[in-house]
Every structure is written in C-alpha cells, then in structure tokens.
Chain A
C-alpha cells in the first residue's frame, strides 16, 4: 500500500507549513508526523517517515531522528486501542501499579504487548499531567481518569463494543 495523504490532509499539511517562516518547513515535522500516525494505522513505518521527509523536503534520517526521540510516536504496529497507563510518582501513590496489574490480567498480556485479536496494546508511560486525577491512562486523544477496576472493565467493554460495530 503506497503511503499517500488524502487531498484534505495534504491541505492540512500545507496549512501547518504556512505557520512557519519561509524555509523553516522542518518545524512542521512533529505536527505532520502526528497527522501521519493518525492516518496510517497508528504507527510510523519507515515508508511513512520517508513520505513525510519528501513532503517537507528534508533528509529521511532527520525524520527518523525525531520520530525515535519522542515517546508518542509508535515505531511498531499497535492495537486498535492503545492503553497508556501512567506509573509515575503521584499516580503510583494512588495505586497505578494495581491498575496496571489488573489490566495485564484482564487482557492477558504483558506491558508492551498487543492482544492476539489486535484490539488492545498496553503501555506504561511516565507522567501525563493528570496527577490530581490519578490513577489515569491515555486512550487515543483523551484521558481516562480516576481509574478503578470497575472503570477499567467498563472501558474495555466499551472498546470491544465499539470495535464490533
């Protein structure tokens, strides 16, 4: 499958590039990588990164360097639903370890793994800036806060239901 943005997304890329002074289109790299990750299956393949390099007229290695630096870019395929559970200090004080353990048990996977049906991937992450609403995790664009075992059950059930529709 050739990597190619839709017309609409290409316009978005142009709009992003226009935010920066002429010749500074490299500034658009991180926003465009976000866009690419959303558009091409939730992760960045080498082809995707090469495509982005071409769009921004920079060397592919410059894209690889950046994509591997930031923790939000996935360089391996991930499940449809990516659970990123925070485990740093304040979340830990409020029981994030138990939540992580519970999700592992519930989904039958280890941290970093994807369920065989390709639906869920579990990742642990460092502080997401929701310390007052701990424990929490990121699911897609939004945060799921004040997690309890019941709430985790509900989230997983909701995801399954959504995937089946």
Chain B
C-alpha cells in the first residue's frame, strides 16, 4: 500500500462536514501555522517540501510564493484554480466534492503565508453543484472561527469566495483566469508582468491549483523535511492521478511518486489492468496536452529502464521518447483504439477552446482539425501528414499562452510515434472506415542503444 497524505481520510463517512473533519485531525495544520509560525516560516516549510505545482506545469510552489511582490498599501490575492478542464483530469473535482475542508484549510494556511485577506476559488462552470458544497463548508468554517475576522485570535482576517466560470478551458491558464474573474473574456494576458507583480485588479496575485493548496495541509502537519521523503528526488510527495480510458478501475488515485507506470496500470490497487484481457496500445499519462506514447516507450524508457510515475522519469528522453506528468490525467488506450481518431478528438477540443486572441492558435487549431478529419474519414493525402507536422511546429512556442503548445504537442507526438498508423489511414481509406489499425508493433520491446 502506498502512503497517502491527501486522501488518507477520504473514506471516512461525513468527512465533508466540519465536525467530522475536525474530529479526524482537521484544521490542526491551520492552528499550527497561524499560532506558532510566521508567514515566512510557512513559505520556508513549503520550499523545503520541494512540492511542485500540481496544475500541470510543475513549478515549485514555495518558489512561486516567494516571487509575490509585496508593495505597501496594496492588497494581494490568492486565487485557487479549480477550472479543471484538461481532458483526462478530474482529480480536483474529487477533492472538492469529498474533502472541501481540506481545500479550505489549505487556502487558509496559504493565504496566511502570502498575506492575502481575500481569496477566490475559481471553479469551472460545469461543476455547478460543487460551489454549493464549498460554500456550505466555508459557512461552517466561518461559524467555527476558521474564517472571517481575527481567526484564532491571531488578528488574521480571511474571506473565501467561490466564483463559477462558464465553460472555457482557457480559463485554467492563470492570467485568463484572472481576466475571467474580473468579468471579462478569458483571454490570457501577455507576460510580463506576471501575476505575482500585477494580477487580479492589477494587484500581486498567486494562482495555485486545488491539489497544490490541499497539499499544504500535510506539509505543515508533517513538516517539509518529512514531506520530501515521500516520492523520489525532485518528485517529492504524493500526487493525485485521475485514471481513465480503457482500464478496469477508472478513478482518482493518490500515489506516492515511487511506483512504476506498469504497476500503476496493472496492479489491483490502482487501475487494475485493461478490460477484456486486451493489450495496452498507448497512453497519455498527464492530461490530453502531454505527448502520447506507445506502450513500449511508456513502460520502459529509451534507455531500457523501467519508467516510474515521477516528473523526471516520465519526462525521460524529452519529447523524442518521453512525455510529461502534466496534471496527472492518465488516459489509457487499448489495442482496439484508433490513434488518428483520438488525435482528431483532441484537435477538435483545442480548436473549440482556443480563445482566438493570437493568430497561430486561432487559425492553426482549426486547420489541424480539418486536416485530421480528412485523414480520419478517408480523404487524406500523404502530404497531409507532413502538413500537420508543419502546422503544429508553427503553432508551438509562437503563441501568447501555453494553449498553443498544448494543442500542438498531442498532434506532434501522435505523428512522431504513430506515423505508420496515419499512413495506413491514407493508403487504405476504405478499410480504415471499417476497422482500426490495431496494436501493430507498438508494444514490441525496442532495441536499447548500447550505453555510450
């Protein structure tokens, strides 16, 4: 059994409510932080924990906090990014639905560390029932003196508000989120200035993911030094992985970052293998934006080592043979799935979600979708594959925000690793309408280059 820090109490009945949460050790970290630690000490503890942001980019949280500008007389804000919209990712929803007080406690400690007296939770609009859960929990925390004025007699004030979005993936990007929170279109801002200097209402702002903020609680409880002992190396702590696709047990799992990918997919503790005895074809281990990899590269790195569920190991080999941890949206494709079709579905997603502000993403995402549609529906040409490659290359890195990259990477990786499947689609347009390419050689062990 892997050790757990976030979901260890998720099974307790009624943990959603303050009394049960409190009885099971809840708000102890908040008391510890507010009563016995200075804000800087809290930040220091988070730095020591080595925790990396859980939203997808993996930037060390303590470092992000220390960048916050603190000019005199200007309020600063903490914003919780609960706009979970990356296909394959549904971990934050689980946290908020079942452990709302864990998030609120994390927000309280983090706001204290940052000196923020107003904190917003920006939640995606489709999660329409969760604001009620959160608001109820906030009201409970208020009643019990963990929110409002002069919390625990420390003189620290905090209000938490829940703001619903209205259906826009792009609002998961922190500056787009801030724009949306200001009641505008969710178009990302041009950086610099970064939110840490000019964010919400032009004031210094930190935007953190739900899981990141929840993880502050165990960090304070056990201390940063202890937290860093979980996981391997720079992948400190535990990570929520939301597993979906063709697996026996889809759902949200908390893993300690020291298990292998193979164990994660096949062990009964986690995904429980692939249904109907089918074989693994490919996997997107970190949410739809990260590169898709075939089975053989997923389970072992190009160096022939076992691939682990850590930031470093998943990234081993870079984009040529590796992928990314991303937001932990683990999508598994079995042998009967069509990579072209799947890529088309993701391209359609990014086309739909492009904000339209900058030209490469606005025009390029739609173009990619149209070309992929042709290939999928048997109207593709061989040159279309190269065209796709060229379009994604001209989007990647040339846009205002990372959505351009996120739209380009899935297409790039699909062509990089599954080019023969694309070619088969082009060469056998009729057959491709009736059946899928199948597993082919994608699970065959790859020759390992001799060590140099």
A and B touch in their complex, CB below 8 angstroms: yes
- The residue of chain B having its C-beta at the shortest distance from the C-beta of A32 within the complex is B183
Whether B86 lies near A132 (C-beta < 8 A) is no
Q: Mark B281-314, 1 if CB is under 8 A from A, else 0.
A: 0001000100000000000000000000000000
Whether B166 lies near A130 (C-beta < 8 A) is no
Residues of B within 8 A of A88 (CB): 87, 288, 345-346, 348-349
Q: Mark B123-139, 1 if CB is under 8 A from A, else 0.
A: 01111110000000000
A65 to B124, CA, bound (A): 19
A30 interfacial contact with B, CB 8 Å: yes
- The residue of chain B having its C-beta at the shortest distance from the C-beta of A31 within the complex is B164
Query: Total interface residues on B, using CB and 8 Å?
Result: 57
> Shortest distance in angstroms between B177's beta carbon and chain A's nearest beta carbon?
12
A127 interfacial contact with B, CB 8 Å: yes
Whether B161 lies near A142 (C-beta < 8 A) is no
Q: Mark B61-91, 1 if CB is under 8 A from A, else 0.
A: 0000000000000010000000011111110
Within 8 A of B (CB), among A120-165: 125-134, 138, 140-142
A89 to B244, CA, bound (A): 10
Whether B165 lies near A87 (C-beta < 8 A) is no
Within 8 A of B (CB), among A62-117: 62, 65-66, 69-73, 87-90, 92-94
Known: A70-B168, A129-B90, A141-B128. A28 touches B183 (CB 8 A): yes
A33 interfacial contact with B, CB 8 Å: yes
Residues of A within 8 A of B345 (CB): 87-89, 92
A66 to B349, CA, bound (A): 20
Whether B184 lies near A72 (C-beta < 8 A) is no
Whether A127 lies near B166 (C-beta < 8 A) is no
A138 to B342, CA, bound (A): 22
A19 interfacial contact with B, CB 8 Å: yes
Residues of B within 8 A of A21 (CB): 75, 118, 201
A29 interfacial contact with B, CB 8 Å: yes
- The residue of chain A having its C-beta at the shortest distance from the C-beta of B126 within the complex is A128
Known: A27-B183, A70-B186. A131 touches B125 (CB 8 A): no
Residues of B within 8 A of A62 (CB): 183-184
> Shortest distance in angstroms between B144's beta carbon and chain A's nearest beta carbon?
21
Contact of A90 among B84, B182, B184, B244 (CB under 8 A): B244
A67 to B252, CA, bound (A): 33
Whether A30 lies near B90 (C-beta < 8 A) is no
Whether A132 lies near B250 (C-beta < 8 A) is yes
Whether B186 lies near A134 (C-beta < 8 A) is no
A14 interfacial contact with B, CB 8 Å: no
> Shortest distance in angstroms between B222's beta carbon and chain A's nearest beta carbon?
29
A56 to B183, CA, bound (A): 11
B245 interfacial contact with A, CB 8 Å: yes
**Can you sample 30 A-B contacts with CB below 8 Å?**
A21-B118, A24-B201, A28-B183, A30-B125, A30-B163, A30-B166, A30-B183, A34-B125, A34-B164, A34-B166, A70-B168, A87-B348, A88-B346, A90-B87, A90-B331, A93-B331, A93-B342, A94-B245, A94-B246, A127-B87, A127-B88, A127-B349, A129-B89, A129-B126, A131-B88, A131-B89, A131-B250, A132-B243, A134-B244, A142-B129
A residues apposed to B, CB below 8 Å: 19, 21, 24, 26-31, 33-34, 56, 58, 62, 65-66, 69-73, 87-90, 92-94, 125-134, 138, 140-142
